[in-house]
């Protein structure tokens, strides 16, 4: 055991002295420093909401138009059919959608279980509760006035008083309660008018993908050093089992330093659950070790490996998600990407 540990430490030192490994380690740290120095910027969130008004009632048509013209954190826009609304939500063109069915306006004050406003959402919908609050607040303002007038009209039939004057009084009272700053007051603690929703954003750097690529590349370099030693007949006297663990030591000693550096770099730049991230990094490192061992069994000569190595690394950069978003690939390209470990990190 002591012999194995000594050999492992020697191989680790040898790995750290290689210029390529040092360059990758420094590049990873430098990327983290650059990312931390990039200033955050506030960006307004654009939250589109589809509105379909099938009701011909003037109040409901006016309510839909008021929503569309409304200055809000939500951008309400009109659609022409249920199919268009459903398609927009599925394609993420709309964050959510509201359907006002025919007959809702006339029955708003006398609820009909068959005539309901339908709210369409998806798992990716942002702030659905807040959007519903804003929508139904406007609908309530429209239907409340009608409710008061209808109740007053019913009362006038039995009491015989002049309905015209009462309607004027109801309108004035409702407007007073809606708009009077003596009853409701909204104060913005930041000193500005709240009519937008912002979020902090930083320019994206694919640090996790770079880390995955560098860990994989370190394993490839570990294979190169082992095959070079094999060509120089350094392990000819070793038994088969000893050659196995020497292969493993070469690869693990190359991957381990990169893994140790990658973990804090990703944690600092991305945050999240430290223990879960550690598990992911170690699992990915284990996958790279197994991939490298398998490749080392297939390729036995250093001269052959030196010709194949640039192809493997180039394909890993292209297909591993460092440059391109692999989720946008066609099915055949996705299958090809799965042949390279950086795809999974």
Burial per residue of 190-225, b for 16 or more beta-carbon CB atoms within 10 angstroms, e otherwise = eeeeeeebeeeeeeeeebbbbbbbbbbbbbbbbbbb
Side-chain-side CA neighbours of residue 231 (13 Å): 14
CA neighbor of 120 nearest in space, from 95, 148, 140: 95
The model's pLDDT over 56-84, given as tens digits with 9 standing for 90+, comes to 888 888 888 888 887 777 888 889 888 88
Instruction: Give me the torsion for CA of 180, 184, 189, 191, rounded to 10°.
Output: -10
Tell me the average pLDDT across 303-330: 83
Residue with tokens 């192809």: 311
Q: Output the pLDDT for position 284.
A: 92
The model's pLDDT over 209-255, given as tens digits with 9 standing for 90+, comes to 888 889 998 888 888 888 888 877 777 777 777 778 788 888 888 88
The model's pLDDT over 239-250, given as tens digits with 9 standing for 90+, comes to 777 778 788 888
CA distance 49 to 52: 10
Q: Is the pLDDT of residue 198 over 70?
A: no
CA neighbor of 321 nearest in space, from 309, 307, 333: 333
Gyration radius from the chain CA atoms: 33
Q: Output the pLDDT for position 34.
A: 79
Q: Sort strands 74-78 and 41-44 into parallel, antiparallel or unpaired.
A: unpaired
CATH architecture assigned to 45-143: 3-Layer(aba) Sandwich (3.40)
Q: Output the pLDDT for position 183.
A: 40
The model's pLDDT over 301-314, given as tens digits with 9 standing for 90+, comes to 888 888 888 888 88
Q: Output the pLDDT for position 190.
A: 39
Domain boundaries, the chain: 2-36+205-344, 45-143
CA distance 52 to 88: 12
CA distance 261 to 164: 80
Task: Decide: 292 and 251 in contact? Cβ < 8 Å.
Answer: yes
SS3 assignment, position 114: coil
Q: Output the pLDDT for position 282.
A: 92
Q: With bands split at pLDDT 50, 70 and 90, how would you rate the model's confidence at 325?
A: confident
CA distance 251 to 238: 18
The model's pLDDT over 105-141, given as tens digits with 9 standing for 90+, comes to 777 666 555 677 888 877 666 677 777 777 777 777 7
Length of the chain measured in residues: 345
Q: Output the pLDDT for position 283.
A: 93
CA distance 333 to 345: 17
Q: Is the pLDDT of residue 192 over 50?
A: no
């Amino acid at each position: 055991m002591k012999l194995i540990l000594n050999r492992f430490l020697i191989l680790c030192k040898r790995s750290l002295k290689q210029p390529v490994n040092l360059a990758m380690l420094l590049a990873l740290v430098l990327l983290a420093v650059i990312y931390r120095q990039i200033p955050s910027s506030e960006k307004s969130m654009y939250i589109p909401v589809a509105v379909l008004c099938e009701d011909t009632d003037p109040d409901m048509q006016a309510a839909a138009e008021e929503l569309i013209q409304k200055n809000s954190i939500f951008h309400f826009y009109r659609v022409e059919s249920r199919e268009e609304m459903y398609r927009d939500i599925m394609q993420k063109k709309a964050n959510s959608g509201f359907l006002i069915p025919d007959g809702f306006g006339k029955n708003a004050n006398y609820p009909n279980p068959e005539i309901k406003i339908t709210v369409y959402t998806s798992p990716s919908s942002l702030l659905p509760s807040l959007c519903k609050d804003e929508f139904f607040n406007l609908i309530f303002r429209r239907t409340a006035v009608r409710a008061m007038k209808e109740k007053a009209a019913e009362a006038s039939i039995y009491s015989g008083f002049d309905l015209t004057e009462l309607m004027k009084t109801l309108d004035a009272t409702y407007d007073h309660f809606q708009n009077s700053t003596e009853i409701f007051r909204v104060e913005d603690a930041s000193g500005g008018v709240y009519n937008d929703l912002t979020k902090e954003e930083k320019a994206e750097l694919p640090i996790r993908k770079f880390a995955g690529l560098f860990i994989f590349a370190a394993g490839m370099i570990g294979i190169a050093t082992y095959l070079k030693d094999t060509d120089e007949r350094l392990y000819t006297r070793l038994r088969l089992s000893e050659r196995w663990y020497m292969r493993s030591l070469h690869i693990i000693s190359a991957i381990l330093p990169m893994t140790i550096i990658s973990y804090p770099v990703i944690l600092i730049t991305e945050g999240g659950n430290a223990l879960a991230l550690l598990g992911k990094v170690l699992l990915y490192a284990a996958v790279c070790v197994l991939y490298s061992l398998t490749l080392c069994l297939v390729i036995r000569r250093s001269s052959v490996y030196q010709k194949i190595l640039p192809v493997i690394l180039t394909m890993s950069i292209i297909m591993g998600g460092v440059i391109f978003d692999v989720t946008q690939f066609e099915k055949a390209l996705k299958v090809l990407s799965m042949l390279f470990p950086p795809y999974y990190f």
